[in-house]
Amino acid sequence: MKGKLFVLSGPSGVGKGTVRAALLKEYSDINYSVSATTRAKREGEVHGREYFFVSVEEFQEMIKNDELLEWAKYCGNYYGTPRKYVEEKLKAGEDIILEIEIQGAEQIRKKFPDGVFIFLAPPSLNELRLRIQKRGTEDETKISERLETAKIEMEKMYNYDYVIINDVVENAVEKLKSIIIAERCRIENYIGLKEGDFNDG
């Protein structure tokens, strides 16, 4: 049985990384595909864990060599999903989760229409501003730019399969877990399988 692709997306600052990291602490049977980015590393981030931090030249070389499933330029920085890891895990029957920007999710939808697309939304734009300010990594100009982008991105929420309001991280993680469990139980996952093929995964 082919693995299932889960795509977690939403505006910058909504808490995608926090929710994803909390999920992976509890779910050891789902793989996380680390994205590549040209943005500067933030305090506490580790190359290869949060992102593969690369130069603009390196990123453009990855685009040229068709090494990315999707990529986008967002607020002056490039972001993209390395192709090889995702394709290998899905082919091996393993589930994988991507944490990506809205533009990237739109590209992935075209290549993986049977993927599960989950939109992580803030309780309000004002709360989103507070979260970005608390991060302390952008000046007011950048924050305003991100909020303007977020307003446009919120309108794309209706293109997704599920929406989770990230008010309290623990609640958001529980909802994400519920979606994963439900999707793994869908009847189409079992069509064509014989009795001996069933497992509790």
136 in a labelled binding site: no
- Total Cβ atoms within 10 A of residue 181: 10
196 in a labelled binding site: no
pLDDT of residue 137: 73
Tokens describing residue 160: 């997704």
17 in a labelled binding site: yes
- Total Cβ atoms within 10 A of residue 32: 19
13 in a labelled binding site: yes
10 in a labelled binding site: yes
Residue pLDDT, tens place only, 116-132: 999 999 999 888 888 88
Domain spans in the chain, listed from the N-terminal domain onward: 5-197
CATH of domain 5-197: 3.40.50.300
14 in a labelled binding site: yes
Residue pLDDT, tens place only, 62-98: 999 999 999 988 878 999 999 999 999 999 999 999 9
15 in a labelled binding site: yes
pLDDT of residue 16: 93
